[in-house]
Amino acid sequence: MTTAVQPQSRTVNANGLNLHYLDWGKEGSTPLVLLHGLSGAAGDWQRVAEHFRDRYHVIALDQRGHGASDRAPDGAYGTNEAIADVEAFVNALGLKRFVLCGHSMGGQNTIGYTARHPERVICALANDMPPAFKTSNTTPPPAEHPVFASKATWIDARREGAPFTPEWGHELAADARLEAVEGGFRARHDPKAGGWRWDDLWEEAKTISRPIFFIRGGRSTVLDAQTLMDIDMAIAPARSITLEQSGHGTYVDMEHEWLAAAAAFFAAHSEV
């Protein structure tokens, strides 16, 4: 891990929204665009960015309704809207060709963008996410997020849903995702994003022609082993691994193994 460097905080207007992003610099190098998961934020990628910033121009986007980016004024939260944002975002930044990497929701957006724009994607990584996802949660999103007295109390509540995540991962998530409000801290993302529409991208995914790497968490319930086998069979250039002792957040839960696998894949296809 390289020495921590604070990124530049920037905003660009794209697809009718002010989209915030973090930029770790090294302009002129191959861009590496990072897309966080649902309820996440660009800052989730801090340690990944630190690892890759000496080799790539690392950029992490706050996707619509997350972090410091605008909330969708019409409450439109779904896969196709997010992919359209990515299209407008990379165009606004003038990125011609780049490496694309997304986690969870961002992983599905990565799959969709890669299928639709093979001329722009050097290679892609979809972290613990299938081309189609059906949530079992039917609870309507809250009108507003609860307020926690401290970041520590938010972390205590989060541990149950992320039991394989090390303590530094919880602390990083708290710093990236929470905002200070009267009485403590609450999640910054738009509560309406909790009703995210997961569009089915299976047919599009089968057309992917660029190298794409799927990393699965062995203890995750989001991408199961059979679906990963289906991906390997259906998407010709797909490669995959399973990090057996990881939950959903593989790049945190098994950081060293994830970074080594991602670095090797990116390096193998950097000139493709």
The pLDDT of residue 1 is 46
CATH superfamily for 8-134+194-268 is Alpha/Beta hydrolase fold, catalytic domain (3.40.50.1820)
Q: Is the pLDDT of residue 142 over 90?
A: no
Q: Count the Cβ atoms, other than its own, within 10 Å of residue 160.
A: 7
Least confident of 44-58, 127-141, 143-157, 176-190: 127-141
Identity of residue 27: E
What confidence tier does 272 reach under pLDDT thresholds 50, 70, 90?
A: very low
**pLDDT tens digit string along 22-42?**
999 888 999 999 999 999 999
- The alpha helices in the chain, defined as continuous H runs, are 46-52, 79-92, 105-116, 151-159, 167-177, 202-205, 225-234, 250-253, 255-268
Question: 53-86 in b/e burial notation, b at 16+ Cβ within 10 A?
Answer: beebbbbbbbbbbbbbbbbbeeeebbbebbbbbb
Q: Report the mean per-residue pLDDT for the chain.
A: 95
For the chain, give every domain's residue range: 8-134+194-268
What confidence tier does 153 reach under pLDDT thresholds 50, 70, 90?
A: very high
pTM over 0.75: yes
211-236 mean pLDDT: 97
Q: What percent of the chain has pLDDT over 90?
A: 90
The pLDDT of residue 139 is 65
